[in-house]
Amino acid sequence: MKLSSLLLPAALLATPALAEHTSNWAVLVCTSRFWFNYRHLANVLSIYRTVKRLGIPDSQIILMLPDDMACNPRNAFPGTVYSNADRAVDLYGDNIEVDYRGYEVTVENFIRLLTDRVGEEMPRSKRLLTDDRSNILVYMTGHGGNEFLKFQDAEEIGAWDLADAFEQMWEKRRYHEILFMIDTCQANTMYSKLYSPNIIATGSSELDQSSYSHHADNDIGVAVIDRYTYYNLEFLESEVKDTSSKKTVGDLFDSYSYEKIHSHAGVRYDLFKGGAEEARSRLVTDFFGNVQNVEVDSGKKGETTNSSFEEEMVKLSRTIAELHRRAEEQEAAERNATASANAKAGAEKKRPRQKKIQPVAKPLTDDNWWTKKIVGATALAGCAALWGLGSYLEGVV
Amino acid sequence: MSAQPLPKDEVLATTTRKLPPPEKPSDVRRRSHVILSFWLIVLLLGLPIWWRTTTIYRADLPLQDMLDWADGKACRPVFPLRISIQATSFQDQEAQNLLRLTQHALDDLNDFAGHHLRLQLSDEEQESADNGSALTIRLTPGEGTTATLDPYEPILDITYPPNTIPSPTASSSPLATYIASQLRTTFAEEQATISYLLSTNSMPSEHRPLGLSPETTESLAKRTTRSVKYAPTYHLTFSLFTSGPLPSSWDIEGAIEEYMKPVLEVLSPIHNFTIDTQVQLYASPGVQNQVLNKEDLSSFINAAEWPLSPSIGGAPTINFIVFVGNQTITNPSQESATSQSWLIPQWGTVYLLSLPDDTTHVTAATLKQPLLTFTSHLLSLTGTPESGSLPLRLSTLARIRSADLLLRASSTLGSLARLAMALPSISIPSSVADGVTKTMSHLRLACDNLGGTEGLAHARIAEAEAERAFFEKSMVGQLYFPDEHKIAVYLPLLGPVAVPLVMGLINEIKAWRKRRREKAEKGAEKKEQ
């Protein structure tokens, strides 16, 4: 009884802190290069355009594009990328920020990005600077198979690697909730190994199913978008017009059907706290949009008193800073006095100390010296033994 | 083998065919020596080399200690705040007595063991300011009992009517109770904040203070949500956005100097600040409505077009935006009132400034109101408590931040330990072990000095070291290799080598056994004869 009464308030305390997220991030990854994979870049760019439309700033979008379709010599419309044969929207536009491009898109860089194990030299704009109040949308597309996704036809990321990376993020409290979305062949196998909490995962196709493209543009000459992404976009464009939309993630998932996508799109809720019900009730804009809970200052009425209060505060801090400075000066003066006294005393002491340092012919590191000797001796002995063995065998024969 | 039965004479022919001459015993011995030496090389040289070159280096981490830190077993966060009482008008005996009674009253009131106030008498006036005490109580005789916080220094002025001095034999005194309750209200917010911090982290339940009301918890949760994650340095960006060509310049330097610098200076023991400013003309907001409601405000910032993330240096940015425009904000809670600014948690502030159309230069005086708003928002973004005098708020902030850093460094240690155990194939370079040792020694120092000023410095170092250890650059790469991959790598390499080796060994063993059997048979025959 007593124990439960002790624990209960603690449990109550812990819950409200998790209720809300304060920032939205998006990691959009295309993993294939070459002209015939035009549609994968178009997939990613159309999601990029959508999250930007819904308010996620470029500084919070990590875009990985292994190839530059807009500047490909085979592109009949140079400088543009379209995801629809009607060519109504140029996805490349004039305002696009690619964070990782070309050969920078590697498995290692992707895992480094997620786990933030990067060097000092990495600029902030290329890092995923999330915290325990960040919702992250992770969208991946490319060519995949059973439990792997190919990066640039050169290497692949396994479902285990991905799961471990997410787990490291969770351990370091680098996310609040994640929506993981993947459009590739056998996509659902990629999220089957995830084991970290608070992840909603969805994929375009089951094991042994291919993920198909939606349509081709005859002038561009290749397919321009995949079916799964196309119908996601259709939902986002028609139902989620702005950040005030109240459509939920469940609505988005319900819009998938075999007739549209030509493969069985999958959803995984079991990692989410509260299960399917809770996960489905999340707003689409919780992941695709940037909804900030602003705090409006109190109105004009309070303002006059407020401003005088603030002025007071500034005045106060000025005085305090002045006081600090004076105290510091005093301290510095005292320190100087003692330091000069010390210096005098030190100068006298220094001379005899300098004499102590005498050049001695001695190896620089004592401990290594012996091990090196032993290694050398063993090597010599080994060679001698080999020679002895050889000559013995010769003698025997 | 051919399935067709062979004719008889042919079978005879093969059996009678000439056999190779019997091997000389020396040849047999030589062959077994050759095979033996190959195997010796493989086992004594090949295996160790393979082992040495393929094992992943994992430095020894004090896993149990790290987990103890994370679980709060290694450190019991206590904040012993020393409070000195200046009672010059008291006699020594009386002062001691009052101190004892007040301490009693305080201990009775306090229900949170982690945060206790220790009273002490300060004899000489001059040392009162910097002897490490968090607050000084100055007792002066006066008309009635009043308490006021000195605005410039952490001093609580208490006046008392002379007749309330407790007699040496009294077991309770209204003055002592009054002082105790005053102290308690002064530190109530700090206590609540710290106990909230401890409760949201994985501290064991017996350290957890109880009795936070849901409202307090909610407001504290809101405040921690609002405040930016601790960083030693923040980058402040002041931006002037205007939808037209005017105004094109502003006296931001002067305004900052006048209205913000003092506060930045006061915060300087806890944070450093770097500042940059920008003016953007023809900037259209994300919402074009004349009257903005609360939902519009969150999409007012045109994140796609406004250059708001300078990514200068490694410090997190706090944004302060002045938007020149005559939009108004309707506040649903207050019908008539309109406000001009709003705070975006962990991000910064936007201020709508309406100016006459032909203003080309924004003077420092015009910027006064925005800057003052920014200043007070900066304080709440850094997580400064809201009640009490400024010096007290700042010292409280230092304590809250050191507790926060301590908890964060501890939980990072725990994460690292759990990861090291969960991922056996991750390499752990020795620099990580060094970082962990450093973190733990600084955590220990920070834990011992939580109430004091060094606590923050140590906690800061500990947190930085813990982060560096966790985010060690080389602890990445492909962590998991499926078994098929391993077979695919080793088989083409080892298969061709292993087949003759193994076959040779098997043949040799067979031959040896055959020889032994023959020997035994011969021996038996001899015996029989």
Give the global pTM: 0.78
Token pair for B401:
């931040």
* Yes or no, beta carbons of B130 and A10 under 8 Å apart: no
Residue B508 has pLDDT above 60, yes or no: yes
Measure the CA–CA gap between A118 and B475, rounded to whole angstroms. Answer: 10
Mean local confidence (pLDDT), A321-337 = 76
CA distances in angstroms from B62 to A307, B168, B425, B440, B448, listed in the order given: 53, 54, 18, 10, 21
Judged by CB atoms closer than 8 Å, whether chains meet at A320 and B390 is answered as yes
Which residues are bridge partners to A62 per DSSP?
A27
Q: Compute the average pLDDT of residues A30-59.
A: 90
3-state secondary structure of B135: strand
Give A-chain residues touching B299 at CB under 8 angstroms.
55, 242-243
Chain B residues closer than 8 Å to A129 by CB: 316
For the segment B10-25, the average pLDDT, to the nearest whole number, is 68
The predicted pLDDT at position A236 comes to 92
Q: Which of residues 232-291 of B touch A (CB under 8 A)?
A: 259-260, 262-263, 265-266, 286
| Per-residue confidence band for A47, with pLDDT thresholds at 50, 70 and 90 | very high
Question: What pLDDT, on the 0 to 100 scale, is given for residue A350?
Answer: 46
Interface size A-B, in CB pairs within 8 Å, comes to 215
Tell me if residue B479 falls in helix, strand or coil.
coil
B292: nearest CA partner in chain A? A296
- Residue A148: DSSP 8-state: E
Contacting residues for B404 by C-beta, under 8 A, at least 6 apart: B197, B230
Q: Mean per-residue pLDDT for A13-42?
A: 78
CA geometry: angle at A312 spanning A307 and A316, to 5°?
A: 150
Minimum distance, in Å, between the CA of residue A126 and any CA atom of chain B: 10
User: Is residue B2 predicted with pLDDT exceeding 80?
Assistant: no
Q: Do A293 and B298 touch (CB under 8 A)?
A: yes
A185 is a catalytic site residue? yes
In chain A, what residues touch B225 (CB-CB under 8 Å)?
20, 22, 133, 293
pLDDT at A16: 36
Q: Which of A71-75, A102-106, A282-286, B301-305 has the lowest mean pLDDT?
A: B301-305
C-alpha closest to that of B347 among B308, B314, B386, B312: B308
- Does residue B3 register a pLDDT over 60? no
Most confident of A301-305, A322-326, B357-361: B357-361
Cβ-based neighbour number of residue B38 at 10 Å: 15
- Report the pLDDT value the prediction gives residue B67, as an integer from 0 to 100: 87
Residue contact A133–B346, C-beta within 8 A: yes
Give the least confident one: A191-200, A376-385, B141-150.
B141-150
Residue A190 and residue A159 in contact, taking contact as beta carbons nearer than 8 Å: yes
H helix or E strand, kind and range, residue B362: strand B361-362
Answer whether A386 touches B (CB < 8 Å). no
Q: What is the mean pLDDT of residues A54-59?
A: 85
For residue B70, count CB atoms less than 10 angstroms from its CB and return exposed for 0-12, middle for 13-18, buried for 19 or more. buried
Distance of alpha carbon A286 from alpha carbon A278, whole angstroms: 13
Beta bridge partners of B338: B330
What is the share, in percent, of chain A residues with pLDDT greater than 70?
A: 84
Counting DSSP H helices and E strands in chain A, the numbers are 11, 13
**Average pLDDT, integer, range B403-418:** 88
| Among the partner residues A161, A310, A317, nearest to B265 by beta-carbon distance | A317
Interchain CB distance below 8 Å, A317 and B263: yes
CATH code, B82-187: 3.30.379
A293 touches chain B (CB under 8 A): yes
Average of pLDDT values for A202-214? 90
Residue A212 pLDDT exceeds 70: yes
Structure confidence at residue A300 (pLDDT):
47
pLDDT over 90, % of chain A: 31
- Residue A191: pLDDT band (50, 70, 90) is very high
Mutate to test the interface with B, among A49, A108, A118, A171 (most CBs of B within 10 A): A171
Q: How big is the CA angle at A376 (ends A375 and A378), to the nearest 5 degrees? A: 65
Query: B211-267: per-residue pLDDT in tens?
Result: 567 777 777 777 777 888 888 888 898 999 888 888 888 888 888 888 888 888 888
Find, among B204, B160, B213, B199, the residue nearest to B182 by Cα. B160
Active site residue A143: yes
Higher pLDDT among residues B65 and B213, named by residue: B65
Q: What integer is the mean pLDDT of B55-72?
A: 85
Q: Do B262 and A17 touch (CB under 8 A)?
A: no
Q: What is the average per-residue pLDDT within B2-14?
A: 50
pLDDT computed for residue A234 by the predictor: 92
The first and second tokens of residue A381, run together, are 């002995």
Most A CBs within 10 Å, among B470, B472, B475, to test the A interface: B470
Q: Is the pLDDT of residue B79 over 90?
A: no
Where in the sequence of chain B do the CATH 3.40.390 domains occur? 228-381
Sequence-ordered strand ranges (E) for B60-209: 81-86, 117-121, 135-141, 146-149, 155-160
Q: Which one of the listed residues A185, A215, A262, A264 is annotated catalytic?
A: A185
CB contact under 8 A, B419 and A314: no
- The better pLDDT of the pair B199, B40 is held by B40
* B306–chain A nearest CA distance, Å: 9
For the domain spanning B228-381, the CATH number is: 3.40.390
Strand stretches in B169-305, DSSP E: 233-242, 249-250, 272-280, 291-292
- Answer for the pair B270, B456: CB distance below 8 angstroms, yes or no: yes
Q: What's the pLDDT score for residue A354?
A: 43
pLDDT at A9 > cutoff 50:
no
Query: Does A171 contact chain B (CB < 8 Å)?
Result: yes
- Per-residue model confidence as pLDDT tens digits over B123-170: 555 444 445 667 778 777 777 777 777 777 777 888 777 776 766 666
Rounded CA separation A306/A326 (Å): 30
What's CA A175's distance to the chain center, in Å?
10
The rounded distance, in Å, linking the Cα atoms of B145 and B149 is 14
What is the model's pLDDT at position B489? 86
Q: What percent of chain B has pLDDT over 70?
A: 85
The percentage of residues in chain B with a pLDDT greater than 90, rounded to a whole number, is 5
| Residue A55, phi-psi category: left (phi > 0), alpha (psi -120 to 50), beta (remainder) | left
Confidence (pLDDT) at A373: 83
User: Which residues belong to CATH 3.30.379 in chain B?
Assistant: 82-187
Which of these is catalytic: A40, A143, A176, A214?
A: A143
Considering CB atoms only, which of A14, A168, A321 is closest to B266?
A321
pLDDT at A217 over 80: yes
pLDDT mean over B78-95? 75
Assess whether pLDDT exceeds 60 at residue A358: no
Please report residues of B whose CB lies closer than 8 A to that of A242.
Answer: 299
Q: By CB neighbour count within 10 A (0-12 exposed, 13-18 middle, 19+ buried), where does A18 fall?
A: middle
**Does residue A23 carry a pLDDT above 70?**
yes
Task: Taking residues B501-520, report their average pLDDT.
Answer: 90
pLDDT beyond 60 at B196 = yes
pLDDT per position as a tens digit, A76-115: 898 899 988 888 888 888 788 899 988 999 998 999 999 8
pLDDT tens digits along B316-373: 888 899 988 878 777 666 555 567 888 888 888 888 888 887 888 888 888 888 888 8
Residue A182 has phi, psi (to 5 degrees) of -140, 135
Name the B residues in 385-414 with CB < 8 Å from any A CB.
390-391, 411-412
B125 Cβ contact partners less than 8 Å away, ≥ 6 residues apart: B86, B88
pLDDT at B113: 65
Q: At B310, is the pLDDT very low, low, confident or very high (cuts 50, 70, 90)?
A: low
At B202 the pLDDT is 57
How sure is the predictor about A40, in pLDDT bands with cuts at 50, 70 and 90? Answer: very high
- CB contact set of B138 (below 8 Å; sequence gap of 6+): B86, B150, B155, B156, B157, B158
* Cross-chain Cβ contact A17/B423 below 8 Å: no
Mean pLDDT of chain B: 79
Q: Enter the tokens of residue B18.
A: 């000439």
- Residues B372/A307, Cβ–Cβ less than 8 Å: yes
Q: Which residues pair with B155 in a beta bridge?
A: B136
Rounded CA gap, B43 and B498, in Å?
Answer: 12
What is the structure's pLDDT at B475? 81
Measure the CA–CA gap between B407 and A204, rounded to whole angstroms.
41
Segment among A85-89, A130-134, B88-92 with least mean pLDDT: B88-92
**d(CA A202, nearest CA chain B) in Å:** 23
B414-425 tens-digit pLDDT:
889 988 888 877
- Closest residue by Cα to residue B369 from A318, A321, A297: A297
At residue A204 the predicted structure's pLDDT band, cuts being 50, 70 and 90, is: very high
Inspect the interface and report whether the beta carbons of A172 and B470 lie closer than 8 Å.
Answer: yes
The backbone torsions φ and ψ at residue B130, rounded to the nearest 5 degrees and listed phi first, read -125, 55
Test A16 with B217 for CB contact under 8 angstroms.
Answer: yes
For residue A57, pLDDT over 60 is answered with yes
Cβ atoms of A119 and A162 closer than 8 Å: no
C-alpha A89: how far from chain center: 28
How many angstroms separate the CA atoms of A111 and B479, rounded?
10
B30 touches chain A (CB under 8 A): yes
Q: CB-based contact (8 Å) between B365 and chain A? A: no
Question: With contacts defined as CB-CB under 8 Å, which chain B residues touch A297?
Answer: 339-343, 373
Give the residue among B302, B282, B289, B355 at the shortest CA–CA distance from B328.
B289
